[in-house]
Structure 1
Amino acid sequence: MGRDEIIFLLIGLKWTIALSIVGFVCGCIAGLFIALARTSGVRVVEGLTAGYIAVFQGTPLLMQLFVVYYGLALIGIKVDAWLAVAVGLTLHASAYLGEIWRGAIEAVPQGQTEASKALALSYSSRMKDIILPQALRISLPATIGFLVQLIKGTSLASIVGFTELTRAGNIISNQIFQPLTVFGIVGILYFIMCCPLTIYGAHLERKFAAQAR
């Protein structure tokens, strides 16, 4: 392992972080709409979003990336690997985060909703000022836990030819024939990214549990 190999791994790390940020941020935005749709009380909307969640939770992320990358090409829409993976991760994240936040919204005491309706607050005001702030707090540990899974899930981007951290490690391993060293370093880099988030999520879970008692 020389200087050039380390730099190449760090470039792969950069793209892993970028993919994680894009997938998580866009997934959060889409997931919020899905959560609101799932709790809207409109049966058709709730059914459609429940089906969407079931599809993405019931199929492997690897298959979803394949469908986005190769499926779009079959219908004449050509996208590069970066965009395909970003879209695939966004769709995947939106389904999981939407369900996490749906559970958090429903975990807010029903009395909060009834009180806000008694005050004649509009739906948007009720959600923005009363329900969502409480739901966000409830969902934080699970959301952070999903972010950790998403970071590790970016390693599947290599299957469609995108060079992130895992594929960078594979390329270097094939060049210098030191797989244990290379993937040991790759594992350490993933650990550095994920471990602080895992610890923080566990800390929040313990803190909120203590406050609830």
Structure 2
Amino acid sequence: MHLGEFLFLLQGLKWTVILSAIAFVLGGVGGLAVALLRTSGVPLLERVTAGYISLFQGTPLLMQLFVVYYGLALVGIRLNPWAAVSVGFTLHASAYLGEIWRGSIEAVPRGQTEASHALSLGYVSRMRDVVLPQAIRISLPATIGFLVQLIKGTSLASIVGFTELARAGNIVSNQIFQPLLVFGIVGILYFLMCWPLSLFGAHLERRFATPAR
């Protein structure tokens, strides 16, 4: 493998990181909204968000990307590959993070909410100052675990022609006919991204579980 081909793989790596970051950040914003609506106590909102979560958890990510790119084009909404994968992964992340954070909000001891009611705290103040800080702590290991899955899931973006790390590896492999070498390097690059995050998530899980022993 020549330097130019390796640099092409690094270019794919760059787009993998950017896509993962966009999906995680925007999906996090959407996921927070989903989690708050899911725990709002308003039956209609809870049913709608429960259906939203079920839709994205119950269908393959590959199909979701396919629908966003090709399905929307059938109704006149044409997105380029970059926009399509950004939208698809953001929706996917918002559903999963919404469910993770919903569980974390409900895991906060009920006494905390009751105490905030006794202090006459409004909903915004109660969530911002009492519930969410504790829920974020509870959710961190699972959130980081989902980020690892999200990074690996970006390899499916090639379905719409988006050139991330896996597709870059496929292109280089077809050029130099050395698939074991190319995908060995691709695998190492994925490992270098995901392994530190996995270790960090495991560390947080052990740290937060210590007081419960």
TM over 0.5: yes
Deviation of residue 167 (structure 1)?
A: 0.3
Unpaired runs of 5+ residues, structure 1, are: none
Q: Following superposition of structure 1 onto structure 2, how do residues 143-154 of structure 1 map, counting pairs within 5 Å?
A: 143-154=143-154
CA distance in 1, matches of 2:82, 2:68: 11
Deviation of residue 76 (structure 1)?
A: 0.6
The residue matched to 1:19 in structure 2 has which SS? helix
Could you tell me which amino acid in structure 1 is paired with residue 125 of structure 2? S
Q: Following superposition of structure 1 onto structure 2, how do residues 132-147 of structure 1 map, counting pairs within 5 Å?
A: 132-147=132-147
Deviation of residue 106 (structure 1)?
A: 0.3
Listed one character per residue, the Cα deviations across residues 116-171 of structure 1 (whole Å, up to 9, x for unaligned) are 00000000000000000000000000000000000000000011100000000000
Q: Following superposition of structure 1 onto structure 2, how do residues 64-213 of structure 1 map, counting pairs within 5 Å?
A: 64-213=64-213
Equivalent position of 1:3 in the other structure: 3
Unpaired runs of 5+ residues, structure 2, are: none
CA distance in 2, matches of 1:27, 1:212: 30
Deviation of residue 211 (structure 1)?
A: 1.9
Could you tell me which amino acid in structure 1 is paired with residue 153 of structure 2? G
Could you tell me which amino acid in structure 2 is paired with residue 154 of structure 1? T
Deviation of residue 212 (structure 1)?
A: 2.1
Could you tell me which amino acid in structure 2 is paired with residue 157 of structure 1? A
Give the alignment's TM-score, normalised by structure 1.
0.99
Q: Following superposition of structure 1 onto structure 2, how do residues 52-67 of structure 1 map, counting pairs within 5 Å?
A: 52-67=52-67
CA distance in 1, matches of 2:71, 2:124: 38
Query: How many residues are aligned here?
Result: 213
Could you tell me which amino acid in structure 2 is paired with residue 103 of structure 1? G
CA distance in 2, matches of 1:187, 1:211: 37
CA distance in 1, matches of 2:78, 2:65: 14
What's the RMSD between the two structures over aligned residues? Answer: 0.4
Deviating 4+ runs (over 6 angstroms): none
The residue matched to 2:124 in structure 1 has which SS? helix
The residue matched to 1:104 in structure 2 has which SS? helix
Listed one character per residue, the Cα deviations across residues 43-71 of structure 1 (whole Å, up to 9, x for unaligned) are 00000000000000000000000000001
CA distance in 2, matches of 1:133, 1:21: 22
Listed one character per residue, the Cα deviations across residues 61-93 of structure 1 (whole Å, up to 9, x for unaligned) are 000000000011101111100110010000000
The percentage of counterpart residues that share the same residue type is: 75
CA distance in 2, matches of 1:36, 1:71: 29
The residue matched to 1:162 in structure 2 has which SS? coil
Give the alignment's TM-score, normalised by structure 2.
0.99
